[in-house]
Structure 1
Amino acid sequence: MFKSNGIDSMRIYNPNHDILGALAGSGIALTIGPLNQDIQSMAADYVAAQAWVAAHIQPYVNTVNFRYINVGNEIIPDPLAQFILPAMNNVQKALFFSNINHIKVTTSVAANVMGPSFPPSNGHFHDQAAAILNPIVQFLVAHGSPLLINIYPYYAYTSQPNQLPLSYALFNSTGVVERDGNLGYQNLFDAMVDTFVAALEKAGGGNVGLVVSEIGWPSNGAFGANADSARIFNQNLIDHVSKGTPRRPGVPIETYLFAMFNENQKGPAEIEKFFGLFYPDKTPVYPIRFV
């Protein structure tokens, strides 16, 4: 289904061997990672990281196009965050000793790692997050890995709809909405990404790439969630990401839409069931063009 729709990359949240088997020979670039609850043991013991790589990467490395190993999803600033960098180092070491050199090791963070970040040039990691992230940024610099960010303009818009125009969130603004020095922002996505760019610059990672590893707009379930807005947002996003942002113009942004399918058992919030582009029977929730 990914191939038939022209989708060339996938992110999964646990090492599901049925999915890995199905991806063999497909060429689809895969982001994969250990479960959050496994990070502490992989940080404490290299053997645990080595065993994870041996079980989930090595058997498939010649047939599956692994792109990133994501060590920890939105853990920062949880107390478990202290284990992310040691686990990343152990996974990197395990890959090295397995002669696997093409897979980048990274972690993914949400917008809650940011301090007050208006305008985007003020973007910075808040103190608690910076204590964890600044050394991680140096790891990313050393290994040429990007930082993965999960951002949701939908939630930013619905948290302050009187301050943020819907058109700004949906890429429909006809002119500059937010001015930041000599840079102008016509959409909320660019502003959110550039707050991370500014934060990376302050952390010594001005050349670290950014991958938007989660983003989407729900089609039902809460205020602002409807199929029309979801279609407009996701289509405009697809059409926009190749252009870069005001702080990084012309630099395409690798972006992963969340999610492929509506899931009736997802929760706890009702809205989480409605981020899918397709129903479970593979019919589209709304028309969308991927290429």
Structure 2
Amino acid sequence: MMMGLFRQELIVVATIAAALHNQIRIAEAIDIGFCYGMLGDNLPPATDVVNLYKKYGFSKMRLFDPNPAALNALRGSGISVILVIRNDDLPNLAASPDAVMAWLATNVEPYIKDDNLNIRIITVGNEIIPGKYAENIFPVMQSLQNILLSKNLNEIKVSTVLSRDTLGSSYSPWGGAFKPEVSGIMKGILNFFSQTASPLCINVYPYFAYASDPVNIRLDYAQFTAPGPVVTDGDLKYINLFDAMVGAFFSAMEKEGVNNVNVFVTESGWPSAGNGQLTTSQLAATYNKNFMNRILTAKGTPKRPFTHIEGFIFAIFNENKKQSAGIENNFGLFYPNMQPVCPVGHVFT
């Protein structure tokens, strides 16, 4: 009798171990990015954050500034990085290539030595077109590109990050166009990307579109759960708002005469609180899971069906020091104590 019970216990333990192994195997295969913001006074140390990424198999990180603790923790982790140059640093960097070289020597070169860290893209600013720093972007990009080439670091791409505010319309895939006041800036930037094979980085939030007009924008269209096409553009059919918003950026680029630049979606997500029934943990889990599945299919959009789009979820943590309390500090997948906001299996299975 005791031997029978012992065998049953072994079977249960083996079953649990197999299930855990399968979960880990699936996690290790996740080819998607997660934004690591630090606007909180209760966030865990960077070493713990990197271990969290490794625990769940998150292979890509976006850093909003060259934080030394985070960059040191990332050494040898196997996690690739998109690194942002802070907006406030751009006027000084635009004034002199020497300033750009000093920035690179301080914030990049020590960490990539001996291939200890893979920095894939450096983005010159974040969501600053239109804005007071917009004119600084192009000269910094040019200086940075020239310096990277001179140091044989041409595997690092140079980009910048746009929000939907750059477009006059961001909801219709055929109507996308850059606002007239930024068209000249964007033309130069897009030609730079075309020549350097760099992607345009964009932040795409169906949540904000839906929340601003829930009467006319369907929730299932915003959450990737619509049963069939919702919007038709000639022969192109859109079953989710995300594809339509990405399509709007493609249309905007084409109107500037550029059609060979890909996009990276460097932010997308859904808040779990802050706006009543529009922001529940269930809605957040549904969006993030479906967004991940959408990216991991490696399929393009109806407008560019053979162009794979990489994606990053915003964000890894709820950050209590975000400027706009409520919605902005509830985009995290995890609480600062590293416990998931909703069951991890609801997102990562």
TM over 0.5: yes
User: How far 1:268 sits from its partner (Å)?
Assistant: 2.1
* C-alpha distance in 2 between matches for 1:121 and 1:97: 40
The worse-fitting range, judged by mean Cα deviation, of 261-270 and 43-52 is: 261-270
Match of 2:333 in 1: 277
Bigger Rg, structure 1 or 2: 2
Distance 1:181 1:79, change over 3 A: same
Q: 2:279 aligns with which of 225, 246, 249?
A: 225
Equivalence map 1:1-291=2 (5 Å): 1-61=52-112, 62-117=115-170, 119-223=172-276, 224-241=278-295, 242-288=298-344, 289-290=347-348
1:176-221 deviations in whole A, cap 9, x for unaligned? 1101110011110000000011111222321101000111100001
- Alpha-carbon deviation of 1:143? 0.5
Contact 1:7-1:290 at 8 Å conserved across structures: no
Kept in 2: contact 1:33–1:72 (CA 8 A): yes
Asked if structure 1 preserves the Cα contact closer than 8 Å seen for 2:171 and 2:241, the reply is: no
Distance 2:73 2:316 in 1: 16
TM-score, length-normalised on structure 1? 0.97
Structure 1 position 281, deviation (Å): 1.2
- Which amino acid is the alignment partner of residue 2 of structure 1? Y
Distance 1:22 1:200, change over 3 A: same
Contact in 2 for aligned 1:115/1:125 (Cα 8 Å): yes
- Larger CA deviation: 243-252 vs 173-182: 243-252
Instruction: Between 268-277 and 50-59, report the one with greater CA deviation.
Output: 268-277
By how many angstroms is 1:116 displaced? 3.0
Name the CA distance, whole Å, in 2 between partners of 1:118 and 1:192.
Answer: 5
CA distance in 2, matches of 1:35, 1:263: 18
User: Post-superposition shift, 1:234?
Assistant: 0.5
Distance 1:9 1:115 in 2: 31
- Unaligned 5+ runs, structure 1: none
Secondary structure of 1:85's match? Answer: helix
Distance 2:117 2:156 in 1: 11
TM-score using structure 2 length = 0.81
1:46: how far off? 0.4
Give ranges in structure 2 of 5+ residues lacking alignment: 1-51
Q: Which amino acid aligns with 1:232?
A: T
Q: In the TM superposition, what is the alpha-carbon distance from 1:117 to its structure 2 partner?
A: 5.0
2:189 corresponds to which letter in structure 1?
A: I
Partners of 1:154 and 1:122 in 2: CA distance: 20
| Amino acid corresponding to residue 24 of structure 1 in structure 2 | R
SS at match of 1:212: strand
Match of 1:14, SS state, is coil
Instruction: Report runs of 4+ in structure 1 exceeding 6 Å deviation.
Output: none
Deviation digits for residues 92-126 of structure 1 (CA, Å, limit 9, x no counterpart)? 12212222111000000100111135631221111
Higher relative contact order (CA 8 A, sep 6+): 2
- In structure 2, what residue type is equivalent to 1:230? A
Secondary structure of 1:50's partner? helix
Q: Distance in 1 between the 2:247 and 2:134 partners?
A: 24
The CA distance in 2 between the partners of 1:106 and 1:13, in whole Å, is: 14
Q: What is the SS of the residue equivalent to 2:93?
A: helix
Deviation string, structure 1 residues 259-288 (Cα, Å, up to 9, x no partner)? 001122223232111000011111111134
Q: CA deviation at 1:26?
A: 1.4
Counterpart of 2:156, as a letter, is I
CA distance in 2, matches of 1:59, 1:118: 42
Paired residues of 1:106 and 1:146 also in contact (CA < 8 A): yes
Aligned equivalents of 1:216, 1:79: Cα separation in 2? 27
**In 2, Cα distance between the equivalents of 1:246 and 1:219?**
29
Query: What's the offset of the Cα at 1:250?
Result: 3.9
Shift in alpha-carbon separation, 1:50–1:109, aligned structure 2, 3 A: same
Note the aligned Cα RMSD (angstroms).
1.3
